[in-house]
Amino acid sequence: MDPLARVRWRLTAWYVGILLSILGILGGGLYVAVRHRMSQQLDTSLRSATAALIHAARIRAAEQASPKGVVADAVDELHIPDRSLYLFTAGATPVRPLAAPEWIREAAREAERTGTADRDFETPEDHIVRLHAERFVGVDSRPYVAVAMADRLELEDEFASLIRAFIAAALIALVLVAGGGYVLVRQATAPIARTMERMRRFMADAAHELRAPVTILRTRADVAASQARDPARDAATLEAIEREAARIGEIVGELLTLARADAGERPVAREVLYLDDAAAGAVDGIRAVAGQKGVHLEVGAFEEAKVTGDPALIRQLLLIVLDNAVKFTPKGGRVEIAVSAHDGQGALVVSDTGIGIPADQLPHVFERFYRGDPARHEADGAGLGLAIAQWIADSHGARIAIDSQPGAGTRVTLTFPLAA
């Protein structure tokens, strides 16, 4: 499995694991809180039932002449859904119903002694029941105990339905988090994937670009070592080796520049300088190359344009653009440079009458190692110059715009924000 894919699955697993932990803590807390709350509600209901029984018994006794009989009638007449009612006299003697299990009578005795009693009992049918007993004095001045009882199965059913609802919601949440988490992880790791892909492509392209000059160096050295010494031939061999070594050094230098830029290890100075002066210096630096190739280098209008940046990097940027213009302009062609300042921006324009760039290749010219046709056939190079130029421009808040027509030439515009 791809390492990045393993990272995605691990991060998704972490998301799901964290959610499970949260749901476990939340579920445990909810379980305790709801169970306690429902138990309180059941106890309150039982106390209300005993209070209703006591009230009914007293009312009936006050209305009739035979208190004991009417007290029993109160139990028969009072009906509270899902509640069992009992009435006892002194010594836990049943009044209504006429018989009661011993464990209910024990609770009645406790209430007779202490005033109230609350108990949980397990019935022979394996049901857990909750009981509340309360002592009161009837209108005949005799002590009675009222008992209300409810099957906790009612509570357990409500609790079980709540647990089922919580589990269903938790499962839905897990599915959503797992799916959504994986999508988010893919989106979060997409830049890493692109970076890794660029790194792989970068390494492959770098190896490809270095392989040719290294192979030439080895071949030249092997051939020279296998032949008898000849001053003229040896001189030609050494010149070829020097050219290839210089090419390797240029590629390695450009690779180092890009690597340091990617790692943020190349500091960018911020100094006030004039774009027109920097352009004049770059023209002087490239003039000899243009003259050697037979390309006319023309200087247009130079307006004063004060910008902020790194003088060495801006000079390198201008040399890259001018060198490309000269490199891809045939003998007898023309390269022109001009500097202007307007609307808070300084613009440097380099135009040539070179081979031009096809429209479908323009979006790719800033990619590393990219060299489209017919550029790869016209001049040597590793295809790193414009990638370096793009980084320098970005680090200065500048923009590079390229307009080109195949066979008619190219126009490169560098736009810098003017310094205050």
- The CATH number given to whatever domain includes residue 70 is 3.30.450.160
Of 133-147, 209-223, 406-420, which range is least confident?
209-223
SS3 of residue 152 by DSSP: coil
| Domain-terminating residue out of 127, 159, 191 | 159
pLDDT band with cut points at 50, 70 and 90 for residue 346 = very high
β-strand partners of 126: none
> Strand (E) positions, 56-213?
84-89, 93-96, 116-122, 128-137, 143-151
For residue 209, is it within any domain? no
Please say if the pLDDT value at position 321 is more than 80: yes
Please say if the pLDDT value at position 262 is more than 60: yes
For residue 346, is it within any domain? yes
Q: What is the pLDDT of residues 136-192, one digit of tens each?
A: 887 667 888 888 888 776 666 667 777 778 788 888 888 887 888 778 877 877 777
For residue 55, is it within any domain? yes
The owner of tokens 């031939």 is 233
What integer best gives the mean pLDDT of the chain? 80
d(CA 227, CA 85): 121
For residue 129, is it within any domain? yes
∠ CA 40-46-52 to the nearest 5 degrees?
135
Closest Cα partner for 31 from 20, 23, 19? 23
d(CA 114, CA 302): 108
Domain span holding position 123: 3-159
Percent of the chain having pLDDT more than 90? 11
Provide mean pLDDT across the span 225-247: 77
Closest Cα partner for 268 from 391, 412, 95, 123? 391
**Identity at 303, one-letter amino acid code:** E
Number of domains in the chain: 2
d(CA 337, CA 281): 12
For residue 348, is it within any domain? yes
Query: Given this model, what pLDDT does residue 84 score?
Result: 81
- 298 and 154 in a single domain? The answer is no
Do 283 and 317 contact (CB within 8 A), yes or no? Answer: no
